[in-house]
Structure 1
Amino acid sequence: MKSIIKIAALILFLLPVSASAQQFKHSKQVTVPVSGNCDMCAATIQKAGSAKQLSSVNWNKDTKIATITFDSSRTSADAVLKKIALAGYDNPSFRAPDDVYAALPGCCKYERAVAVQPAAQQHQMQDHKAHEQIQNQSLLQPVLNNYLAVKDALVQSDGAAVQQQAAALQKTLEGISMSSLGEKEHMAWMKVYEQLIAESKVMAAGKDVAKQRRVFMELSQHMYTLVQAMELTEPLYWQFCPMYNNGKGANWISKEKEIQNPYYGSQMLTCGRVAATIE
Structure 2
Amino acid sequence: MITYKICTNDDIENMYEAFSIGFSDYMVKFDITLERFIDLFLRIEGNSLDSSLLALDNEKPIGLMLGGIKTYDGVKTLRCGTLAIDPDYRKVGVASQLFMLHKELAIKNDCKVLFLEVIKSNDRALNFYLKHDYKIAYDIVYYKNIDLNRLTNPSLQHLVVKEISIKEAKAYYDAYDKHHINWQNDFDYQKELLHINYFGAYINNDLVGVIAVAESGKIFYLHVLNTHRLNGIGRQLLCYAKDYLKLRAFVISFINNDKLLNFLQKCGFEQFGLSQYEMYRIV
Quick one: higher RCO (CA 8 Å, sep 6+), 1 or 2? 2
**TM-score normalized with structure 2 length:** 0.30
Name the one with the larger helix percent: 1
Name the one with the larger strand percent: 2
**TM-score normalized with structure 1 length:** 0.31
